[in-house]
Structure 1
Amino acid sequence: MALVAVVVALGLVLVVPALVAGLVLAATSHRDVPAVRGAHRHDSLITLTTVLAALVTAVGVLSLPVTWTAASLPAPAAPGVLLAAGPFAVAVVACLVRLAGELTWPRPTGQVRTAPLHRRTVRDLAGWRLTLLLITALVLVAVLVATSLTATDGTAVTVPERPVPGGGTVSGGAGPYPGLPYALPMLVGLVASLVCAAATLRVVVRRAPLDGLGHMEDDLLRRTSAARLLAVLQVCAGAATAIVLAAAGSAARRAGTAHVAVDGLWQELRDPFAVGVGTAALVLGLVVAVASVVAALSSAGAARRRDPGPTRQADPTGPARAPGAVAP
């Protein structure tokens, strides 16, 4: 098993950056002006470095021991607590690497630099990708609150006793279940990753524009940078949400299923509510995982080719500076 894990990890570290590089090269047009080609090369280098750092962090998280005890936690410690917060460690590292790359973005050259005054916001550049990320985060928060309230001893879920044909009752319980010991570090990690994402996107919004480009072309470059960062964050948030839903759904189904002997024959008794909720959680987890992967692939490869859409006109009368623009 250890050998298989090493092979898979090496495959991810080598293959995934290669796929990202292919998407980046396919998205870069040779007809672009030299300044644009240089900007895309710089952004591609940042993207590849970000993906590689995220993968290395993911491999490091997966190598952590499952059993971990900490008496300082306000809730009982549980196996795999560090692994539960792992996706957000990956997200934070990706944001920090992207932030460092943005701070090295080429500065305008020349003694006199002009750029159209054009006000832009994070929402303008991130668009639907940011909305999807926030929806995924809200789903995760709602699921963690629900599982924390329904968990028994923080790590399991139980089903109330129900009658057995022929007399008697039966109840069930199963785990691991994402109760409070798992919810606390995951919520802290989610908040930390969203704060880092907001700070990084703000730097993308405010970076200096390239010489000789209009605001539409400049916005397209910024949209590409924002989309590639959000692709990594969406995978992290989607993976965390899908894992929580899968763990909760599997535990609920197992807790709601019992095998009892009735008249000398073993029968399977199911609690309809527990099994139904567990099945719904499993389906929702699959939907979140697929949607996150599709959105990430779309963000990584299509942002460069998309039309930037309508943008607000620059203010021709006011000399005031606007975020993300450089005044003469």
Structure 2
Amino acid sequence: MELTLDRLTREYGPKIAVDRVSARLTPGVYGLLGANGAGKTTLMRMVCGILRPTSGEVRYDGRPVAQMGDAYRALLGYLPQDFGYYPEFTALDFMEYMAALKGVDRRLARERSLALLEEVGLAGEERRRVRTFSGGMRQRLGIAQAVLNEPEVLVLDEPTAGLDPKERVRFRNLIASLAKDRIVLLSTHIVSDVEYIADKIVMMRAGQVVLEGAPGEIVSAVEGRVWEARVSAAEADALSTRLTVGNVHYLESGEALVRIVAEEPPVAGARRAEPTLEDLYLHVFADERDDDAPRGRVRARGRHAKGGHHA
């Protein structure tokens, strides 16, 4: 089982949304990290065959998916950022309807629908109309429908939007269990969604892959650049305006504990700290103006591969 992205490019007039991205995906979880506008959704829509690349191609086990047609769609599961649903359907009606569209055997559709609703925490809600669901409940329903056909390739675009912390943990555990024998591509700008379950992290910026590797490997890129210090509250505020500050904890004493990503000790007495994936994210996307992602002011670093940007 192998999904190959070969120099995938998508242009919209003069704008390049995805720029020569190449990857070889085998069973496991791939966390696609990037700020809004990085090209993640465009890339995923090309992987799913919804969007035609300007150049390059997607292959499954060596076969171009553009030629596979329904055979490729039958082994694909997809949850877009905003998935469509019929508000008057009950959750079970919706699942059975989606099962029919995906070609799931009618005799198995109800059994599998009920099992998946339970797995995503919607047991007992199957007779409720979808329009009465909260945003988080609808998102869980979307995750359930995405795996109805037991897909070999599962593509999830910002799947934890609207989920509370407890639901996020349930989701991560579910994805970890699903990834044992399938390829899972999960797009997000929330580091914790993939930090503990991804076999490989792929960071995208401005349509290009700028960094990729196993979580433990790529975090080494900021080894020796993460600092913790105790400073005055005023100094913490000043540091936040000129450096990449991850966490600030204000104390009753008027001081603050700060965590900073910087090349050199940011203040006297700063001590090196063990880097995390969030520190790396802050470093790479420090100058991105994304309201939903961490901010900072350090230039990003990356690497490119000959013939394309490889994941």
TM-score of the aligned structures, taking structure 1 as reference length: 0.25
Of structures 1 and 2, the larger Rg is shown by 1
Which structure would you say has the larger RCO, counting Cα contacts within 8 Å and 6 or more residues apart? 1
Q: Which has the higher strand share?
A: 2
TM-score of the aligned structures, taking structure 2 as reference length: 0.26
